[in-house]
Amino acid sequence: MSTPRAPKVAGIDSTVPPPPHTAAPPAAPPLPSGDLRSGGALQDRLAGWVSDLSLLHELTESLIRTGSLDDALHEVLRAGAALVGARRGMAVFEPSDGLGPVSTVGLGLAHSDLGTIETVPRSVTSYGRILDGLDPLPEGSLPRPVAIPDLRSEEDLDPRHREVAARLGYAASYALPLATRQAGRLGALVWLYDEPAEPAERQRHLVGLYGRFATEHLARLLDVERARTQLSTVAEELLPRRLPRVPGVQLAARHRTGARGGGDWYDALPLPEGSLGLAVGSVSGSGPSALAAMGRLRASLRAYAVMEGEDPVAVLSDLELLLRLTEPARSATALFAYAEPQARRIVLAGAGHTPPLIIGDQRTEYVETSLSAPLGMLACWEAPSVELSPAPGETVLLYTEGLLRRTGDPMDRAFARLHAAAAGVPKAARADPGAVADHVLRTILPEGSAAATSDGEDVVILAARFD
């Protein structure tokens, strides 16, 4: 057999000696025996790396699409189970700063199964050892995974743990901490095997990489969740703690805050001689600045309502002037109604706001209001008021545009959906304005639907049923 020659590269014969001013390249190390056959093994190994990277890319892409902590925890459990070869598991989310939220979700485990596992003393569980830092580690080190390959052969296993494992039918577990130096310790994941088993070294490596990415994603969602909770709390504090009791009318309100904390609001305040002021509105923008503007606008409207509530046009005109002078870059919509419950008489005016809806046994119809621009968009705002007389037992429904926008439909179809939902209120529920508002919400925004879980818009409903 002739001696193999080095291949030519780009038309250059590699056997030509280098010029004298160029250092000679180092001699190539001799190929070990059998390396002529190692090309296939190397290709297999490279193919395995590519496959692993593709799998991690696919799993992380799925995780990125989750928008809530609960959805992300379920996705992490599912993806991790695929990586370690398990079919059941649980995630315990418990940030180490103690500020919450705290959550436990399962994969292939019923709620009662999770409760059964939680009867095991926490200190002897793998997730408890991770979350409570019970395993000795060098100072500053992150928690390590905890593998129990065979629960049946563990001599020191807690009797209650052994009993629960036998009842639920798992024989091994692998726990992974949700922790990084940047995010801190957020929780732990535990996957359960039906038979004695543990992840191979390659599986541990992959799930470890995925776990670090998942922890950072969960940390971002945690920040969003906490900010959302704070904004919701602030919004609720800026709205009425309780609705007034005025003879001749029953009141109910429902409020859902979007993730960014919009400026939708409502109000009901008793006025002299047994009258009542009802208001709903929305401030442009979102976040803390919109909430602050909403609080100022609502407080101002209350003052104007006390001074000249019998004239809703005057109330909104004063509000327009105040907004234009103090916050020229902001706009708002508002509707104010002056009600005399004993006479069942309402006078209302709206500034760029959606029309009220009257719901009764004989009719379900929108109140005809004149078109008007929102507050802050004209040099001088004024629109005529509208007077109506609800029949005994009828409910006047005031609401903000967020209820319509959350449907995702064009506005004409959204108005039609709202009308159909109001017309479909059961007769037995029409005596309670709270039940009317709840029925409309459930119909327009069904639980679990994209409209119900959408966080882009605030939703406000104020229902007034006249006796």
Give me the pLDDT at residue 2, please.
45
Q: What is the pLDDT of residues 129-155, one digit of tens each?
A: 999 988 877 777 889 999 999 998 888
Task: For residue 452, count CB atoms less than 10 angstroms from its CB and return exposed for 0-12, middle for 13-18, buried for 19 or more.
Answer: middle
Whole-number average pLDDT of the chain: 86
- Measured in whole angstroms, the distance separating CA 179 from the mean position of its chain's CA atoms is 22
For residue 357, the cross-strand partners are 366, 397
Q: What is the pLDDT of residues 323-337, one digit of tens each?
A: 888 888 888 999 999
Q: Which of 230, 248, 265 is the last residue of a domain?
A: 230
Q: What is the pLDDT of residues 335-371, one digit of tens each?
A: 999 999 999 999 999 988 899 999 999 999 999 887 7
Distance CA 263, CA 234 (A): 11
Domain co-membership, 217 together with 249: no
Domain co-membership, 396 together with 415: yes
Question: What CATH code is carried by the domain that includes residue 198?
Answer: 3.30.450.40
Residue 26 located in a structural domain: no
Contact yes or no for 190/173 (Cβ under 8 A):
yes
Residue where the block lists tokens 């990084």: 180
Residue 37 located in a structural domain: no
Contact yes or no for 399/414 (Cβ under 8 A):
no
- Rounded to 5 degrees, what are φ and ψ at 375? -65, 140
Domain co-membership, 340 together with 419: yes
Residue where the block lists tokens 């004024």: 382
Q: Which of 173, 197, 230 is the last residue of a domain?
A: 230
CA dihedral 232, 398, 374, 258 (to 10 degrees): 20
| pLDDT for residue 61 is more than 90 | yes
Residue 308 located in a structural domain: yes
Give me the pLDDT at residue 276, please.
96
Domain co-membership, 220 together with 316: no
| pLDDT for residue 26 is more than 50 | no
* φ/ψ bin of 133: left (φ > 0), alpha (ψ from -120 to 50), beta (otherwise): left
Contact yes or no for 258/287 (Cβ under 8 A):
no
Give me the pLDDT at residue 250, please.
96
Average pLDDT over residues 275-299: 88
Residue 24 located in a structural domain: no
Contact yes or no for 14/7 (Cβ under 8 A):
yes
* φ/ψ bin of 393: left (φ > 0), alpha (ψ from -120 to 50), beta (otherwise): left
The sign of the torsion formed by the CA atoms of 395, 399, 403, 405 equals positive
Residue where the block lists tokens 């002078």: 325
| pLDDT for residue 13 is more than 80 | no
The sign of the torsion formed by the CA atoms of 442, 356, 424, 406 equals negative
Which segment of 181-185, 218-222, 277-281, 436-440 scores lowest on mean pLDDT? 181-185
Give me the pLDDT at residue 460, please.
93
Give me the pLDDT at residue 10, please.
38
Domain co-membership, 276 together with 400: yes
In terms of Cα–Cα distance, which of 270, 263, 258 is closest to 239? 263
How open is the CA angle 443-444-450, to the nearest 5 degrees? 110
Residue 14 located in a structural domain: no
Question: Across 29-130, where does the E strand assignment appear?
Answer: 88-93, 103-107
Q: Which of 211, 230, 249 is the last residue of a domain?
A: 230
Domain co-membership, 191 together with 336: no
Distance CA 185, CA 171 (A): 27
Task: For residue 216, count CB atoms less than 10 angstroms from its CB and return exposed for 0-12, middle for 13-18, buried for 19 or more.
Answer: middle
- Rounded to 5 degrees, what are φ and ψ at 333? -110, 150
Residue 32 located in a structural domain: no
- Domain residue limits at 261: 239-466
- SS3 at position 385: coil
The sign of the torsion formed by the CA atoms of 179, 185, 187, 192 equals positive
Domain co-membership, 210 together with 324: no
- Counted domains in the chain: 2
Domain co-membership, 214 together with 355: no
How open is the CA angle 325-328-331, to the nearest 5 degrees? 115
Question: What CATH code is carried by the domain that includes residue 460?
Answer: 3.60.40.10
Which secondary-structure segment (H or E) carries 392? none
Residue type, 92: V
Residue 328 located in a structural domain: yes
Domain co-membership, 336 together with 219: no
Domain co-membership, 367 together with 329: yes
Domain co-membership, 223 together with 243: no
Average pLDDT over residues 113-130: 94
Give me the pLDDT at residue 39, please.
67
Q: What is the pLDDT of residues 300-327, one digit of tens each?
A: 999 999 998 899 999 998 998 888 888 8
Domain co-membership, 163 together with 298: no
Query: Which segments of 382-464 does DSSP mark as H helices, in order?
Result: 402-405, 411-423, 433-444, 450-453
Residue 378 located in a structural domain: yes
Give me the pLDDT at residue 5, please.
46
